[in-house]
């Protein structure tokens, strides 16, 4: 097939960027002809650019022109969009429809139904916009605390729901978990057009069994919704070593409250992250929001590392309690402390969970199965 893959990159590299690149490589490796259309939020580097972007979130003329030119030049059989926000905008799907090219969009987050993109407000899960109208997102300034930005985002959601952007023939949607599929269906999306396909990664190979494992590891953005503060509370007053990999707006505050057994390693390369995972007794994912499908879980499974995660959203699907890791109520530091003690106090249990995690990776999250799922989704999109 000839496949045009489009993606709006973030200013800071994240999981969606990794998935975009991995899927492009996967498709090319399978013999498909793939072209990419990328824009980057680093272009929003002035007040004028921020104002212009805010005003065009729902219907970005430059994004539509870029899509039209790419389709005219490449004549793809299918267009696959990862992140469209904010420089492409959902209006690129109008271009696909006008050009009679079937399209697929991966719903990495909840941007198409939630002003803040995470169904989270004040550190707690919030469905207020879904239940009572999207203008509540503007009232609460859910997009970065900005009234203009929140109003623009809320209007984008409402406008494209009215236009039927997400329910028109010729568009299929990829949810990363069954949980996410249910949420989007409850928000009014057509369940028959939503396929479930998890993220994946190339197999880095099984870790060296001689590598000693010790302590806990957190990998991810240091921001409030990730629940790192809960993790710090869980290990406070203990001797459990905790290594924290990542950067974010909360780093200074988190370092100030961390106990002596916590080390902040900053941003590391992917190879360095995998080495850290191979030497950790467990990865902890203490998220307070639903998450999409954290690549760090797939990476941990590949490295035979069990995962202790919040029992929230899709995480409860990916981590099998008592088999590949443990689940705890989100925000409950006492419960997290208890699960950590259980796992670290039973090395044989941790080893068994790690082996099961590696098996789960090979069965569900390795490239071959993901390619099969992706090609089947493209075929359904092409068939209408």
> Are residues 240 and 352 located together in one domain of the fold?
yes
Please tell me the total count of domains within the chain: 2
Per-residue confidence (pLDDT) for residue 210, from 0 to 100: 93
Per-residue confidence (pLDDT) for residue 146, from 0 to 100: 94
> Are residues 41 and 190 located together in one domain of the fold?
yes
Residue 14 — very low, low, confident or very high, per pLDDT cuts 50/70/90? confident
> Are residues 377 and 269 located together in one domain of the fold?
no
pLDDT digits (tens, 9 = 90+) for 258-282: 999 999 999 999 999 999 999 999 9
> Are residues 332 and 373 located together in one domain of the fold?
no
Any domain includes 325? yes
Per-residue confidence (pLDDT) for residue 331, from 0 to 100: 96
Please tell me the pTM assigned to this model: 0.92
> Are residues 190 and 327 located together in one domain of the fold?
no
- 8 Å CB contact between 175 and 107: yes
pLDDT digits (tens, 9 = 90+) for 172-226: 999 999 999 999 999 999 999 999 999 999 999 999 999 999 999 999 999 999 9
> Are residues 172 and 35 located together in one domain of the fold?
yes
Any domain includes 209? no
Using a 10 angstrom Cβ sphere, with 0-12 exposed, 13-18 middle and 19 or more buried, the burial of residue 249 is exposed
Residue range(s) defining the domain that contains residue 231:
216-365
Segment among 6-15, 79-88, 182-191 with least mean pLDDT: 6-15
Per-residue confidence (pLDDT) for residue 42, from 0 to 100: 87
> Are residues 15 and 106 located together in one domain of the fold?
yes
> Are residues 55 and 173 located together in one domain of the fold?
yes
Any domain includes 328? yes
Any domain includes 347? yes
Q: For all residues of the chain together, what is the average pLDDT? A: 95
> Are residues 105 and 81 located together in one domain of the fold?
yes
Per-residue confidence (pLDDT) for residue 147, from 0 to 100: 94
Average pLDDT over residues 57-76: 97
Task: Answer whether residue 102 shows pLDDT above 90.
Answer: yes
CA diameter of the chain: 62
Per-residue confidence (pLDDT) for residue 242, from 0 to 100: 98
Per-residue confidence (pLDDT) for residue 285, from 0 to 100: 98
What are the distances in angstroms from CA 155 to CA 14, 119, 214, 270? 26, 16, 49, 37
> Are residues 13 and 81 located together in one domain of the fold?
yes
Per-residue confidence (pLDDT) for residue 221, from 0 to 100: 94
- 8 Å CB contact between 138 and 115: yes
Residue 45 — very low, low, confident or very high, per pLDDT cuts 50/70/90? confident
Tally of CB atoms within 10 A around 7: 25
Segment among 12-21, 70-79, 92-101, 104-113 with least mean pLDDT: 12-21
Percent of the chain scoring above 70 in pLDDT:
100
pLDDT digits (tens, 9 = 90+) for 319-335: 999 999 999 999 999 99
- 8 Å CB contact between 53 and 8: no
pLDDT digits (tens, 9 = 90+) for 103-155: 999 999 999 999 999 999 998 999 998 999 888 999 999 999 999 999 999 99
Average pLDDT over residues 154-163: 95
Tally of CB atoms within 10 A around 98: 11
Any domain includes 96? yes
Any domain includes 208? no
> Are residues 192 and 48 located together in one domain of the fold?
yes
Task: Answer whether residue 10 shows pLDDT above 90.
Answer: no
Task: Answer whether residue 43 shows pLDDT above 90.
Answer: no
Any domain includes 138? no
Comparing CA positions, the residue from 244, 312, 357, 310 lying closest to residue 349 is: 357
Per-residue confidence (pLDDT) for residue 69, from 0 to 100: 98
Any domain includes 122? no
User: Each residue of 321-349: b (16+ CB within 10 Å) or e?
Assistant: eeebbbbbebbbbebbbebbeebbeeeee
> Are residues 82 and 191 located together in one domain of the fold?
yes
- CATH code of the domain covering residue 352: 3.40.50.2000
Task: Answer whether residue 12 shows pLDDT above 90.
Answer: no
């Amino acid at each position: 097939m000839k496949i045009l893959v489009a993606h709006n990159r973030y200013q800071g590299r994240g999981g969606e960027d990794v998935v975009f690149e991995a899927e492009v490589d996967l498709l090319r490796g399978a013999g498909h002809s793939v072209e990419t259309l990328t824009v980057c939020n680093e272009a929003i580097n002035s007040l004028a650019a921020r104002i212009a972007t805010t005003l065009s979130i729902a219907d970005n003329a430059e994004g539509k022109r870029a899509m039209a030119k790419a389709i005219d030049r490449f004549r793809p059989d299918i267009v696959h969009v990862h992140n469209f926000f904010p420089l492409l905008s959902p209006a690129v799907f109008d271009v696909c429809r006008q050009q009679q090219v079937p399209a697929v969009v991966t719903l990495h987050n909840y941007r198409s139904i939630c002003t803040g993109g995470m169904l989270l407000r004040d550190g707690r899960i919030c469905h207020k916009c879904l239940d009572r109208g999207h203008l509540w997102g503007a009232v609460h300034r859910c997009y970065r605390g900005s009234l203009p930005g929140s109003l623009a985002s809320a209007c984008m959601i409402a406008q494209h729901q009215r236009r039927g952007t997400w329910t028109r023939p010729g568009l299929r949607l990829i949810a990363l978990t069954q949980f996410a599929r249910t949420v989007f269906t409850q928000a009014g999306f057509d369940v028959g057009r939503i396929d479930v396909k998890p993220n994946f990664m190339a197999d880095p190979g099984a870790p060296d069994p001689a590598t000693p494992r010790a302590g806990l590891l957190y990998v991810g953005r240091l921001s409030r919704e990730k629940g790192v503060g809960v993790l710090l509370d869980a290990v406070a007053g203990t001797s459990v070593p905790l290594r924290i990999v990542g950067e974010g707006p909360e780093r200074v505050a988190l370092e100030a409250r961390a106990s002596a057994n916590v080390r902040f390693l900053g941003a590391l390369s992917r190879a360095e992250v995998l080495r850290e995972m191979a030497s950790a007794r467990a990865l902890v994912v203490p998220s307070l929001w639903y998450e999409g499908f954290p690549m760090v879980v797939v990476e941990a499974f590949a490295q035979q590392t069990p995962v202790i995660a919040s029992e929230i959203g899709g995480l409860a699907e990916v981590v099998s309690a008592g088999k590949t890791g443990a689940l705890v109520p989100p925000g409950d530091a006492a419960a997290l402390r208890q699960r950590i003690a259980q796992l670290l106090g039973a090395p044989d249990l941790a080893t068994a969970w790690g082996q099961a995690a590696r098996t789960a990776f090979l069965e569900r999250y390795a490239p071959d199965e993901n390619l099969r799922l992706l090609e089947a989704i493209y075929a359904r999109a092409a068939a209408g």
